[in-house]
Structure 1
Amino acid sequence: MTGRRASPTGRYGGRSAAERRAERRRRFLDAGLETFGRGPGYRATTVAALSEAAGLSTRQFYEEFRTLEDLLAELHLEVNDGAEHEVVATLPSVDGLDLAERTARLFHAYAASITADPARIRIAFVEIIGVSPRMDRQRLTRRARWVDFLCAEAAAAADRGEIADRDYRIAATAFIGSINGLLHDWSAGWVDATLDEVIDELVLMLLGRLHAPDRRPPIP
């Protein structure tokens, strides 16, 4: 019978086969974060170069991932999952705060996670762009999750009487697009500002849109 050998199931060096494989996968992911996020980037990285950075073989790479794109996809989800976890963990501490303070704290929780390492910014906002239709769908799917979160927060604020009761989906989508664009440009060195200044500006943009009048002024 041909095909991949069965993976060992016993313990070796005090670790199970599953633990050793998880460690190996983690080493590939860490190497991807380094080479994609701080090194030559996704498009300039080969499987051989990434495997060398991980201290593993190309054979071991293909036992974990089909392609480099699969590894990039997992890193992108990991960065977003981490930010989402931090925002959800912050929710209990902002209960009862007014809209401005609540929004600022939640967004700072998001930003603290996503910008903790410049490599994570590059993975989330630079390297992921234009890779393939599959990656575009993944990126837009994750953006939709954040849009849904913002709309839920806006609906709760409307129920509390803090803002008008209307559909904020376009505003939320525009705000998420602003985050992506501004952090992309900041990461590329095209925005002359500190990260804190960028974050503060984004918070002010969101609050300004949430408090905007319900109707547009007539065009003269």
Structure 2
Amino acid sequence: MRTYDGMTAGERTAARRRRLMDAGLELFHTQGYPGTSIRAVLRRSGLQDRYFGESFPSLDALMAAVLAEIQDEEAARCRTAVTGPGTRGERARGMLRVLAAGVADDPGKGRVKLVESLAAGPLAANERRRGMRNLARLVEDMLLEDPPAPGTHTGVMALAIVGGVQQILLNWADGTLPLSREDVVEQGLRLFEAVAAFDGGPSARR
């Protein structure tokens, strides 16, 4: 297999894709999605014009790829939190701490996920929904640890929790909710507990 500068053609393509994604993440955070162009991404990445289309058909596709990476990393950490030891309430709190850390510890990624992805197109919208469903499945598994009340759709309840927490995080990130990180976690946990109690099981704190 032929190499150039010690890299195969596939490795060079992957490296260029990585540079585009890193540049996109930075610009989506600092300039906003509406203020970012393909040309700006190319300038920031140091790549020539022809290389964007090699990896992405559109700026929306780049946003979807950046968002997928953020959401997959976050979902993996949440899965570790909810499948570990402890009561259901403790594990739910662990998941909420992961989500809060995604905003507080890496505000660039947090803003891209919660704010800038909303301004992108259908590819990013589909990816955002995929990420929410992945988190909702983790929440639903915890809800199902107790038998749900008759007629309760735990999938719907789980989506309601995830959507509510996302709104809390969004308003916390933009300063609308002047809360500490632990306050955000605690309020999210109260939402989980309220839905879990309605879902027919005992308190999530048991």
Q: CA deviation at 1:130?
A: 4.6
| Post-superposition CA distance 1:163-184 (Å, at most 9, x none) | 8675333332221111222222
Q: CA deviation at 1:121?
A: 1.1
**Residue of structure 2 equivalent to 1:120:** 109
Equivalence map 1:151-170=2 (5 Å): 151-156=140-145, 158=146, 166-170=152-156
CA distance in 2, matches of 1:32, 1:196: 31
Q: Is the 8 A contact 1:150 1:172 kept in 2?
A: yes
Residues 188 and 129 (structure 1), Cα distance of their counterparts in 2 relative to 1, 3 Å cut:
same
CA distance in 2, matches of 1:213, 1:129: 31
User: Could you tell me which amino acid in structure 2 is paired with residue 64 of structure 1?
Assistant: S
| Post-superposition CA distance 1:176-207 (Å, at most 9, x none) | 11122222222223222233322232122212
Which of residues 69, 72, 76 is equivalent to 1:81? 72
Q: Which has the larger radius of gyration?
A: 1
The alignment's TM-score, normalised by the length of structure 1, stands at 0.79
**Residue of structure 2 equivalent to 1:195:** 181
CA distance in 1, matches of 2:55, 2:120: 20
Q: Is the 8 A contact 1:186 1:192 kept in 2?
A: yes
In structure 2, list runs of 5 or more residues that go unmatched: 201-206
**Residue of structure 1 equivalent to 2:121:** 132
- Alignment of 1:104 with 2:90, yes or no, is no
Higher relative contact order (CA 8 A, sep 6+): 2
User: Could you tell me which amino acid in structure 2 is paired with residue 191 of structure 1?
Assistant: L
The count of residues paired between Structure 1 and Structure 2 equals: 199
Q: CA deviation at 1:114?
A: 6.0
Q: CA deviation at 1:213?
A: 7.5
**Residue of structure 2 equivalent to 1:59:** 50
In structure 1, list runs of 5 or more residues that go unmatched: 1-8, 215-220
Q: CA deviation at 1:16?
A: 2.1
- Alignment of 1:23 with 2:9, yes or no, is no
Residues 131 and 148 (structure 1), Cα distance of their counterparts in 2 relative to 1, 3 Å cut:
same
Which of residues 160, 163, 166 is equivalent to 1:174? 160
| Post-superposition CA distance 1:120-143 (Å, at most 9, x none) | 111111111153344333322332
| Post-superposition CA distance 1:27-79 (Å, at most 9, x none) | 11111111101x11111111111111112122212222111111000011111
Residues 185 and 113 (structure 1), Cα distance of their counterparts in 2 relative to 1, 3 Å cut:
closer
3-state SS of the aligned residue for 1:191? Answer: coil
Q: CA deviation at 1:110?
A: 4.1
**Residue of structure 1 equivalent to 2:32:** 41
Q: Is the 8 A contact 1:87 1:109 kept in 2?
A: yes
3-state SS of the aligned residue for 1:44? Answer: coil
